[in-house]
């Protein structure tokens, strides 16, 4: 009897922070590794992560992820105390850390978490050096998005 493979969506994305692209202009992105515990990796495999309230803190020459909620599995080991909101160290090389520290020192810049995903068998976090949007910038972006949708509809209708 042959084994049947699971038909799973071939998406490597675990969690997205959609709010970040709405609130910030993304200037430069970086891929960072995460220092995780075993139960966290198992939860990420199940897709139980939320980046909505997370932020990146740069201190003492290191980058830390705060506020990322990874829900512990019910079947987790009983001898491990699972803290879903613990701070997690980001694994970046010295050159990338220097770029982040230089960029974050400038007025109006922030370091934000964009996406959590699998790269091969490793959990990676896409972080970005970003500049905050003002309210009128958000409206302009929304207007441009709606115009592009309308333009696509017109072109599709015209080509039919």
Strand 62-66 with 55-59, pairing: antiparallel
pLDDT at 31 over 70: yes
Answer whether 32's CB lies under 8 Å from 91's CB.
yes
Degrees to nearest 5, angle at CA 145 with 25 and 150: 170
Question: In the prediction, which pLDDT does 78 show?
Answer: 66
pLDDT at 9 over 70: no
Q: Which residues pair with 127 in a beta bridge?
A: 30, 113
**Between 8 and 83, the higher pLDDT residue:** 83
Per-residue tokens: 148: 């592009």
149: part of which helix (H) or strand (E)? helix 135-159
121 vs 134: CA distance, rounded Å: 38
What pTM did the predictor assign?
A: 0.71
Gyration radius from the chain CA atoms: 19
């Amino acid at each position: 009897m042959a084994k049947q493979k699971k038909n799973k969506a071939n998406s490597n994305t675990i969690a997205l922070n959609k709010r970040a692209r709405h609130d910030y202009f993304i200037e430069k992105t970086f891929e960072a590794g995460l220092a995780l515990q075993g139960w966290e990796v198992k939860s990420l495999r199940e897709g139980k992560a939320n980046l909505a309230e997370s932020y990146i803190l740069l201190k003492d020459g290191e980058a830390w992820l705060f506020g990322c909620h990874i829900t512990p599995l019910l079947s987790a080991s009983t001898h491990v105390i699972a803290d879903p909101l613990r701070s997690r160290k980001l694994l970046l090389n010295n050159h990338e850390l220097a770029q982040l520290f230089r960029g974050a020192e400038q007025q109006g810049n922030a370091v934000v978490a964009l996406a959590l995903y699998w790269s091969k068998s490793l959990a990676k976090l896409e972080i970005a050096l970003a500049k905050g949007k003002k309210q009128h910038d958000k409206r302009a972006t929304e207007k441009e998005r709606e115009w592009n949708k309308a333009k696509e509809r017109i072109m599709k209708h015209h080509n039919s």
